[in-house]
Structure 1
């Protein structure tokens, strides 16, 4: 019988609810993502360290782009590899995530360097890319985050391995050293399956969708803004209900103001308060249902396996 979950492989008699880490699927990526915005909502040294590392790295890239220092900006981005060792993200069959290394790093540089949001200073955090940069979504943001905080995730993994007596082997890892502003190779002991290293991820930092969501911002902030404009101007989009209430239907707004990251950027650029207020509302973050989210991700993989037949073990 092929073990699907990590706990099954290492005979850990605990349910996901009783674990600090995501009990990963060893055959196929779980469609879960590390959201950098979550770190701003969590307490503790781990979250603080991760958040600081992400801020420093992202600000470093953006500052180089603003200085037109393409060589050093690309050098920072080229160190980002597909973090297959977490077994999280998007993939069709196996651990082949859609990371940002190589050609994708060059593409990421191109998208950021051409972005008015980066050049004007509206792009302040990595999580803002989801709102304003075309081609950068939850998978790429999660991959970037994983790379930057890899050393902290390794420390977490080693602690969990000690708790559950999971054997570890020495592996080389790509680590961002902010002191020297370079990617370096460092050896760390990590668990493995079939000779491939595994990095465990705290379940408290994963989600199925990012807290700061392009779709959500458009459907609420953007459309609400333009609805008020239409009502104040008494345009043809305004409908008067029987009781005299004046309304504008979302379907009409979407036709006149089609969804795009450019329209989100334009609103934020003209009215920065919208992003501030949006983030303020999103501060009320509750990750209590993370176990359900993980369960659903496993369930989704089961459905996929049933459709396509069992996948070969990694």
Structure 2
């Protein structure tokens, strides 16, 4: 069973994340990023700008409905727009969210009547609702944007899947906004689906994703909010007071929005994974070399922490990091780092072909020496589901008896276990710094040394 399975690997597509235009969806949880409409607004792409206009037109049409006395329809549409499970963005562990309620929808729509600027002109950036309505944050902004441009995302998903050979299935897709009728409708289309639930999956371009929207409450509160005017000395300044003040003093919000527009060039998408800088890699290495072996003073946990920071960065982008995992064998807690096997390197393709390793497990051991019990533990973990290739990350080379045991496992069960020591980690950091070769070459070297010792 794969750890933290992704849609692409499940369908035998192993292109690494950095080579794809979209964020690879997880099957069991959300991606912890959000669509920021401001990125579409500032994009040099006419397509992105057009989509921003589509989103804005759809949202401002809700104000038109309210002004025309169709508040019930406006509430209905806003509720339908408030959750977009198909994109799998956010923090849910089950790829399932909840819509806003009728009362919250009415509160949002009241801005079209209460704030003169919105009544007369509509919104320039609908993310501004975060500055007036409690309980509206980045997840709602992202979902509303995705639902209003869902028709585009359907076409984009089909296009990307066809290019990669990912399967499509005719499926009912709910809440697709039709700009011609200015209403939501359910449609059937060829789309990617979850392999277990059959529910539709929509792919989202990486260039639209941020951890926090460019326009957000915390940024406004910190730099533009006239806090002394809202709460007098001795009074508590809470979020509700600020939001209420904003509704009656739109000029302050307007100043903030104009400032965000002026600095739009600084607004960049957030990568799905960020490597640590070279200086940080050096610091982690220095800290590792100073650590004693064993568990005294939490040395084992410190070792795991430093390695857990180092390896995902120095092996990227050849290996995408899946997650850190704790497992228990005979009452002993074992810390693993799990990577997706992208097959983007000859060595990685060989590991997949020879050992069935769709993912690669690195077991971290801050011990003086690897013992027979450690080899047995990792041997039991390596299975047909996970693959039969594993890596010990430990302080020193294996002793002859344990190294021979790994050779015997290869001879009898065609399992391969190699070892990265402090010296190997140091060499990987040096390659990470110099950029002359790739750190994964150290893994290749250790594997070749292992295979030369095999019969």
TM-score over 0.5 for the alignment?
Answer: yes
Matched, 1:36 2:37: yes
CA distance in 2, matches of 1:116, 1:59: 9
Higher relative contact order (CA 8 A, sep 6+): 1
CA distance in 1, matches of 2:45, 2:54: 15
What pairs up with 1:1-314 in 2 under 5 angstroms? 1-2=1-2, 4-80=5-81, 82-91=83-92, 93-100=93-100, 104=101, 106-115=102-111, 119-122=115-118, 124=123, 125-173=125-173, 174-192=175-193, 193-194=195-196, 195-223=198-226, 257-259=237-239, 260-269=242-251, 272-287=254-269, 289-292=270-273, 302=323
SS of match in other structure, 2:263 = helix
Q: 1:279 to 1:303 in 2, by over 3 A?
A: farther
| Contact 1:150 1:175 (C-alpha < 8 Å) held by counterparts | yes
Note the alpha carbon deviations across 1:206-233, whole angstroms, 9 max, x for none: 111111110111100115xx67x8xxxx
Find the structure with the greater CA-based Rg.
Answer: 2
SS of match in other structure, 2:272 = helix
CA distance in 1, matches of 2:274, 2:134: 26
Which stretch of structure 1 is more off in the superposition, 159-168 or 74-83? 74-83
CA distance in 2, matches of 1:50, 1:171: 24
Deviation at 1:283, TM superposition (A): 4.4
Which stretch of structure 1 is more off in the superposition, 262-271 or 185-194? 262-271
**Uncovered stretches (5+) of structure 2, i.e. residues with no partner:** 276-311, 314-319, 328-455
Q: 1:147 to 1:271 in 2, by over 3 A?
A: closer
SS of match in other structure, 1:140 = helix
Report which of the two has the higher share of strand.
2
Deviation at 1:272, TM superposition (A): 3.2
Q: 1:52 to 1:182 in 2, by over 3 A?
A: same
Which stretch of structure 1 is more off in the superposition, 265-274 or 52-61? 265-274
SS of match in other structure, 1:95 = coil
What's the TM-score, normalizing by structure 2?
Answer: 0.54
CA distance in 1, matches of 2:321, 2:213: 18
Note the alpha carbon deviations across 1:164-197, whole angstroms, 9 max, x for none: 1011100122321121122222221112222222
How many residues are paired up?
Answer: 275
